[in-house]
Structure 1
Amino acid sequence: MIRKRSLMRRTAVVAAAGAAALVLAACGGSGGDDGSAGHGGHAATAPSSAPSSSASASASASASQGQHNAADVAFAKGMIPHHRQAVEMADLAPGRARSAEVKKLAADIKKAQDPEIRTLSGWLTSWGEDVPAEGAMDHSSHDMGGMMTAEEMTGLENASGKAFDTAFTELMIKHHEGAVEMARTEQADGAHGPARKMAGEIIDSQSAEIEQMNALLGKD
């Protein structure tokens, strides 16, 4: 009987030791899991910082869309009187041009450049800059490529028929080339996204019109 009880006690001790070993093993495993979770936590911190970086980059992009620099101001202040002169030239065509193509070209130029003058003026106002005054055009300015002199403008006003068509086309080619050069400078040096976009549109549209005018001159 005593032996039986002793055997039962030993069995209980072994069972208890086994259970303790299992608990320790479980604790060890749990510690491993906690370690993993800890690393996971650190890993999780990295993704959580990514949206923050993303948000910063997005904020930076938005800021760059709104910012402007001296090149943008120079582009707007130069292109406004440049466009105004082109519109002034185009306004002469309906009563003086003989060629229907020249009349249409003049109408297209006015239609494209009038809205751009308003947009450029709006940018200058929003930047706290002065918009060039109407009628304050300097025909002899050499700062804006392709601008006609007062004498050239007078000559165009006095021309009619085929002579007007030829003079208008030749002078407008030079005028457009100046605008394209100004637009390229804006694309290279400007910071204002919309202004650089307009510069690209001016390059595309006026380069196409230069080709069209060269073709018109070739027909004469």
Structure 2
Amino acid sequence: MPVITKIFYKESSDKYWIYIDNDYCTSVRARTFKAMDLEVGREITCPELKELENHHFKHQYGQKSWQQEKVRIDKVKEIIESVSPNLSVSIVGFGADSDEFIPQHPDESGAPDLAVVNNDTGSIVMRVEVTGTEAMRGSDYWVRPDKLTYCQNHSDENVWIVLHYQKPTEKFVFIKPDPTKEYTHKVINIRNTDEHYVIFNDTSPEVKPEEQFRQELLLN
């Protein structure tokens, strides 16, 4: 069985270079390395190591998180469809209509889960990214930077982020990012992995009332 024979940290890229049976295999991000239990002498093949690194977060959160994401998407879809019978919702996000693990990556990081179409004109009036957690902890709302980067790269689109929490009581949070704003992220260690989030709260100008979200669905 192949084994890890050398681990070398490269500061310029903030990655660990991993050698298996004395041959270079791949590099691993420092932010995920400490959660992957990699050490010299561990038995693992190069393809197995690459798969672990490429899909670290999907493996870390597991099947249950995918199932919870499906619940969140269905809840937000119900809100949108209740606004007007002239609106239809297409689930377009990568893997958003499935609770099964999908090993590939989307073509564009942060692409929204939902496209809302005006049935009369056929135009997309809004794109909606759905996120959140089963239980809300604290009073802040955490959004991954790639979700905001998508908004900046598509300033011509009406993009919203809706967070859904089931516990302690069901709650929806509606965020409309500013595509002209450069957001700074915070590093938060979760399950021994350094994750990056932009932090919002109820005083953030991007956090909007549900009524505004509903009104903008009817603009076109």
Bigger helix fraction: 1
TM-score between both structures, scaled by the size of structure 2: 0.28
By relative contact order (CA 8 Å, sep 6+), the higher-ranking structure is: 1
* Structure (1 or 2) with the larger CA radius of gyration: 1
Bigger strand fraction: 2
